[in-house]
Structure 1
Amino acid sequence: MAPVQITDIVVPGPAAGREPGVPNRLGSAAVPVRVYSPEAEPWAELVWAHGGSFVRGTLDWPEADWVARSFAAAGVRVHSVDYVLASDTVHAPAPGNDVAAVLAAVAAQSDLPVVIGGASAGGHLAVLAALAQADRAAAGDGRAAAALILEYPTLHRVQRADPAIAAATAELPAQRRFDADRIAAMYADYLGAADPADVASADLADLAGTEAVVAGELPVDRLTLLPPTVIVNADADDLRASGEEFAEQLAIAGVRAVEYTQSGTVHGYLNRPDESAQARVDAADTIARFVAELRVILTANAPGPAEPAQP
């Protein structure tokens, strides 16, 4: 890979100067961020959230570190977010609020196009952060994200039935499967309530633009606020159904969305790029696909030449 400069910084979080309470549904007072800067001048900023079922993951995971290095090698400056993890004392929307705070800070500080993205549960948080930033932009506070990139995201509490996906995942070991019980437990840990409406009714009125809900259950009029989106799913992955369904939801909402499946992969393959030669090829292909699609999106959104002054 091309040389990359790595810097650890801290961004003021949504709980700065405030009392999050218990359980913490607000977020962190300060959010650790690892910045990966390319050797040459970057052409975009990427705020990236690793996966880990909302409850685990670190900036040292390949899904954070290797991914960030790969994007930086392609000329993108990456801000890898160490968001607060869900636990017995932390629940939604705290993790997403941390990601949203970093996105807002990057958008305010840089003149480059700003992209938000994430893997698995991090993809879920990226969607919510993109919506929070869209709300800020609509209120005249900053600018919206230029694009959204999602890697094998989980976006629904209930996966729609798909016989082809079921057949592809039937022989996988249990640790590679996301059956209905595992998905339900994951969202219970994240939401901290049996019904997301219980969370949404909490005292969160001053957190405009952040939803303590499930991204794939948002109404169409909310999804219309999302930027052009690129989704890459794993092949033999129960959660592929979620990524595919979300792409269809975005199309209905009128959002430009492209969706691919990385052939021969299982969930979490970006967290195992050194597992084999083929794993490295698959991971590199995925990054290259995201980079190519981002260039298309950002070129299409680039302002044209200024109109000549009228005499």
Structure 2
Amino acid sequence: MRGAGIGASADVVDDHVVGPHGPVPIRRYRPQDPAAAPTLVWLHGGGFFRGDLDLPESDAVARVLSARGIPVVCVDYRLGPLPGMPWIGRTGPRARRRAPHARDEVVAVLRSLAEECPASLVLGGASAGACLAASAVAAGPPLAGTVLAYGFFHARLPRDPAVQRLVRGHRRITHAPLLLDAANRTYAGPLGAGAFPPPEDLSTFPRTLVLDAERDTMRASGDRFARQLGAAGVDLERHVLRDSRHAFLNRPGSIDFAAAVDLIASWVVRRPV
């Protein structure tokens, strides 16, 4: 176990929990002045095949939230195969694996945290991490809430020309629906077991905060998923950040990052009515 401090706001400790496929690395962010808040279990994005605990979308988010008194545990879940190169990284203690390995490791972390302390848990993530969080809800222990930032929740991205017209820059190519669908198939495998949240299980969701970027191809999936959650009777709060782009939580100096962490912090500490 390795510890590191971040001034007077929080302590950061690297740890692990026992998982179904070996140890699962986690990083704990413990506020020195904790608020009356549940622990946020947070999952970075990266298309299922990249990213780690040092990614700003993981570390910077956790540091800001823990500085506001919210305990955070980030999960270094098992990455999936590289799209187009699935043979790379197939060996070793943290070998790349298709679904449902990542979801199973997230569930193992949730169960371990639920056993070690009576405090309630909120599960959240960004992009692929939001998808993983949504897919883990039905398989894990009861949660106090879920936070889903610019996620995609369907094996085939819903087509919405109005959304696609708003996308700018290189993401018009890298986030083209056909390419995203291909990456999803690489991660999910032929059966798609545990890769995406089944619509019939959405009634088990706790109160949920959904944040989306306006200029993001994946917002089409966020739009549909928000409608599905609403139809299932879930207590839902949703915000679409105007003129924002995908992965705004990976840009700590941006206005969108600041707005999003403000929304997350206030929502996590708010008590349900």
* TM, length-normalised to structure 1: 0.77
* 1:188 alignment partner in structure 2: 185
Measured against aligned partners, the alpha-carbon deviations of 1:100-148 in whole angstroms (never above 9, x if no partner) come to 11111111112222100000001111112221114xxxxxxxxx01100
Q: CA deviation at 1:267?
A: 0.6
Distance 1:2 1:123, change over 3 A: farther
Distance 1:2 1:241, change over 3 A: farther
Ranges of 4+ aligned residues in structure 1 off by more than 3 Å: 174-177
Length, aligned pairs only:
253
**Sequence identity of aligned pairs in percent?**
34
| Correspondences of 1:220-239 after superposition (within 5 Å) | 220=200, 222-239=201-218
* 1:33 alignment partner in structure 2: 26
Aligned with 1:214 (options 175, 196, 212): 196
Q: CA deviation at 1:177?
A: 4.4
Structure 2 SS opposite 1:132: coil
Aligned with 1:268 (options 230, 247, 251): 247
Cα distance in structure 1, aligned partners of 2:170 and 2:115: 45
Whether the 8 Å CA contact 2:38–2:268 is kept in 1: the answer is: no
Distance 1:157 1:2, change over 3 A: farther
Whether the 8 Å CA contact 1:44–1:75 is kept in 2: the answer is: no
Cα distance in structure 1, aligned partners of 2:171 and 2:236: 31
Whether the 8 Å CA contact 2:134–2:196 is kept in 1: the answer is: no
Structure 1 residue identity aligned to 2:60: W
1:292 to 2:251 alignment: no
| Correspondences of 1:84-103 after superposition (within 5 Å) | 84-87=78-81, 88=86, 89=90, 90-103=97-110
Cα distance in structure 2, aligned partners of 1:5 and 1:156: 37
1:145 to 2:139 alignment: no
Which structure 2 segments of 5+ residues have no match? 1-6, 91-96
Structure 1 residue identity aligned to 2:123: I
Distance 1:151 1:176, change over 3 A: farther
1:109 to 2:91 alignment: no
* 1:6 alignment partner in structure 2: 12
Q: CA deviation at 1:160?
A: 2.6
* TM, length-normalised to structure 2: 0.87
Distance 1:249 1:7, change over 3 A: same
Q: Max radius of gyration: which structure?
A: 1
Cα distance in structure 2, aligned partners of 1:227 and 1:2: 33
Distance 1:57 1:175, change over 3 A: farther
Measured against aligned partners, the alpha-carbon deviations of 1:214-253 in whole angstroms (never above 9, x if no partner) come to 22xx133x11111111000011000011111111101111
Distance 1:175 1:227, change over 3 A: same
Structure 1 SS opposite 2:157: coil
* 1:118 alignment partner in structure 2: 125
Structure 1 SS opposite 2:211: strand
Whether the 8 Å CA contact 1:149–1:231 is kept in 2: the answer is: yes
* 2:140 alignment partner in structure 1: 133
Whether the 8 Å CA contact 1:177–1:237 is kept in 2: the answer is: no
Cα distance in structure 2, aligned partners of 1:259 and 1:299: 15
Q: CA deviation at 1:164?
A: 2.6
Aligned with 1:74 (options 60, 68, 71): 68
Whether the 8 Å CA contact 1:176–1:267 is kept in 2: the answer is: no
Which structure 1 segments of 5+ residues have no match? 16-28, 135-143, 201-211, 301-311
